[in-house]
């Protein structure tokens, strides 16, 4: 792999989504990622349907650009092989429950003794300490506990997001933490332990919903597709479907209103707070206008007027969309069992680096080659030591 992290070795002990998605991103950036799996493999290898040719599409979503090594960490030989990897690694990512690493003989102090330059990234569900530290935390559980469900969905119906938002936010924080620790290592010469959790990642993303409570003491509630502070800002029906509108300021309102036959100076809707208070009344007038034409017609009119608007697409439409593909958001890989397949692509692009992606590995596909590589490195080290002693 070519990329900004070329030469960085990541040992990936994580499984399921948050950790694997983060290490996939590090692989996208050019790092060499060795995925260490217990016998039986990552949980998601068995998550389905759907399966493609017996391969879980869930697993395929978070494991490209990696090598798979199977090691039984409860067996002395498997643990010894992992420790050999640790000595060579720049980064180790794990998302075991608190205490598991210690029981495996992989406590963080031990890891940093073996490799003082190692960056250890630890991901948990609810944090490693505190009164509920160590709780298991899958994405759906944390979406509820961290308040995301309370502000999602139709009014009064707490709803889970349709994607693993807690996992994905945590993955982004993992990548940020790893990159910051690697940067600091350039100055200090030493690695460190960095921690995040699904809980921290969702609460850290509350944004304006959080300050509604912490500052204004207003408990946010779900409003469906509406925005609590802005209107019109949400989903509106046309003659043949729905579209999204984002009238976020006065300038856009003045451009938007005439397009749908409204007076921008109407005192009922004159300012942002006025429109928010009368959102239902305003939405009724807008949908009455939109009912007369198709979505395509209205999107063209809004685009001409400089009003932010968009289609509500299904995922098949998203991946067929020319704009999606133009941004490198679909990548093609040659899977050893499935042949040529398409995967969702990375969110970052770097001028000067043309990424070529590798398929998610089969279970244990690289165990032999990685162990042979470690043997070669050990032999070279022994040779260097002998030559140094002779001098």
Residue 155's CB: how many other CB atoms inside 10 A? Answer: 9
Return the sign of the alpha-carbon dihedral for residues 263, 266, 271, 274. negative
Name the residue with tokens 């889970």: 160
Q: Which of 167, 266, 274, 381 is catalytic?
A: 167
Per-residue burial over 53-76, b if 16 or more Cβ lie within 10 Å, else e, is eebbbbbbbbbbbbbbbbbebeee
What number of residues does the chain have? 391
259 within 8 A of 268, measured Cβ to Cβ = no
DSSP per-residue string spanning 220-249: ----TTS-SS-SSEEEEE-SSSEEEEE--S
Catalytic status, residue 226: no
d(CA 83, CA 80): 5
d(CA 245, CA 204): 26
- The vertex-198 CA angle with 143 and 62, nearest 5°, equals 100
Kindly state the tokens that stand for 47.
């998550």
Residues noted as catalytic: 167
């Amino acid at each position: 792999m070519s990329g900004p992290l070329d030469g960085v070795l990541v040992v990936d002990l994580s499984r399921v989504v948050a950790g694997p998605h983060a290490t996939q991103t590090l692989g996208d950036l050019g790092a060499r990622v060795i995925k260490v799996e217990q016998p039986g493999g990552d949980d998601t290898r068995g998550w389905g349907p759907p399966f493609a040719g017996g391969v879980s599409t869930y697993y395929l979503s978070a494991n490209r650009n990696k090598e798979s090594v199977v090691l039984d960490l409860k067996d002395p030989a498997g643990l010894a092989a992992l420790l050999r990897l640790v000595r060579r690694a720049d980064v180790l990512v794990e998302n075991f429950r608190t205490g598991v690493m210690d029981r495996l003989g992989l406590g963080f102090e031990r890891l940093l003794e073996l490799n003082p330059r190692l960056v250890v990234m630890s991901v948990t569900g609810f944090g490693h300490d505190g009164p509920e530290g160590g709780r298991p935390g899958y994405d759906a559980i944390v979406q509820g506990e961290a308040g995301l469900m309370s502000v999602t969905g139709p009014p009064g119906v707490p709803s889970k997001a349709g994607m693993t938002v807690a996992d994905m936010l945590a993955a982004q924080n993992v990548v940020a933490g790893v990159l910051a620790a690697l940067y600091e290592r350039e100055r200090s010469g030493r690695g460190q332990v960095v921690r995040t959790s699904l809980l921290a990642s969702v609460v850290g993303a509350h944004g304006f919903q959080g300050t509604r409570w912490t500052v204004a003491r207003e408990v946010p509630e779900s409003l469906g597709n509406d925005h609590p502070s802005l209107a019109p800002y949400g989903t509106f029906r046309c003659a043949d479907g729905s579209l999204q509108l984002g009238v976020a300021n006065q300038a856009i309102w003045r451009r938007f209103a005439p397009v749908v036959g409204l007076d921008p100076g109407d005192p009922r809707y004159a300012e942002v707070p006025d429109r928010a208070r009368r959102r239902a009344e305003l939405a009724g007038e807008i949908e009455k206008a939109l009912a007369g034409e198709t979505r395509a017609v209205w999107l063209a009119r809004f685009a001409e007027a400089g009003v932010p608007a968009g289609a509500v697409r299904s995922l098949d439409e998203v991946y067929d969309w020319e704009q999606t593909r133009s941004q490198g958001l679909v990548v093609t890989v040659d899977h050893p069992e499935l042949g040529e397949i398409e995967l969702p692509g990375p969110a970052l692009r770097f001028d000067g680096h043309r990424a070529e992606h590798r398929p998610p590995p089969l279970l244990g596909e690289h165990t032999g080659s990685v162990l042979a590589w470690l043997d070669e490195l050990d032999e070279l080290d022994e040779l260097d030591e002998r030559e140094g002693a002779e001098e």
